[in-house]
Structure 1
Amino acid sequence: MKSLLGALSFVLVCQGVGGLLHTFTDGAFDLWALTHRIGFLDGYEVYVSSVLLVLGVTVGTAAERLPGSA
């Protein structure tokens, strides 16, 4: 469970950072983010990417606090 949450955390952080980089560099990081490809998120990409980044850090922190083996 701990490794699954760690992998999920990694994906969420990558999507959050990739979405922010895509937005602030005018599309230079096109392959990193999926938020700009989802139609109903038009205009909210920065907010969604920020939420994904914070959620990824939160899930990673929760995964580290779980007792048990890796």
Structure 2
Amino acid sequence: MKTLLGYLGFVLIVGGASGLVSGWIPGFRLFGLVRYLVPDGHETAGYATLLVLGVLLAIPAARRG
């Protein structure tokens, strides 16, 4: 369970951060998979939410060792 939370947290953190960066830097695309999780027109809030959820999932995984 620890590794699953860690991997999922990592994917959400990297996906959310790359989505935010791609909004500020045109042409930057790193993680195209997570764009299907965010509704059109709400990219900034959606990617920030993914980033926060990733951090919240990664914290318990890191605390368990």
- Structure number with larger C-alpha Rg: 1
Q: CA deviation at 1:22?
A: 0.7
The CA distance in 1 between the partners of 2:25 and 2:59, in whole Å, is 29
Q: CA deviation at 1:62?
A: 1.7
How many equivalent pairs are there?
63
Structure 2 residues without counterparts, runs of 5 or longer: none
TM-score relative to the length of structure 2? 0.81
Q: CA RMSD in A?
A: 1.8
Q: 2:41 aligns with which of 23, 40, 43?
A: 43
Q: Name 1:15's counterpart in structure 2.
A: 15
Identify which of structures 1 and 2 has the higher relative contact order when contacts are C-alpha pairs closer than 8 Å and 6+ apart.
2
1:1-70 aligned within 5 A: 1-26=1-26, 28-33=27-32, 34-35=34-35, 38=36, 41-66=39-64
Same amino acid, percent of matched pairs: 40
Q: CA deviation at 1:50?
A: 0.1
